[in-house]
Amino acid sequence: MINKSINSPIEEQPLGYITGRIVAIIENTCRVPRPFPSIVADDGSKLLPWLTKALRKNQDDAELVELADRFYAHEEEIWPHMQEIEIANTYWIGYYHQKQMIATQDARRAIGEKIREAREAKGLTQRQLAEITGIAFNHIGRIERGKYNVTLDTVSAIASALDMEVGLLNYE
């Protein structure tokens, strides 16, 4: 069982886990063949051209670059062992952890956009919304950019100040 979390420093994460995270990022940013994660699990060499493409497309993504650096430094250690149960397990754990993180980031961004749109529609600045809600001004900006994990209490306070129902913040 993996004892490293997705928030552990990348150099401490198992190589199978890193490979799974990379596959999830590539799947999210590039048009890949289906089922890409299984294709890579069966034949790791299929990952390399997609990783090159993803790095070109996302050259400012520090996380992907750091993951790729660790992967490239040790790729010869991972491919001969991909079918071993421990590496296969960490691969799939890394893949699903990254997928969950991507979904959470997407939800945060979508909710933040809804809040920004509603605030602007009411003619309020971020500072004014902060004063009304009692939420720190810098938190309002981070919430609107999807960089802050808001609590239900925070969302309720913002929705109340913007004359919205919390359910209206649903991003789907």
Q: What is the pLDDT of residues 83-92, one digit of tens each?
A: 677 777 888 8
pLDDT at 143: 93
CA 131, CA 137: separation in Å to the nearest integer?
8
Mean pLDDT rounded to a whole number for the chain: 82
pLDDT at 170: 55
Which range among 23-37, 65-79, 122-136, 144-158 has the greatest average pLDDT? Answer: 122-136
pTM for this structure? 0.63
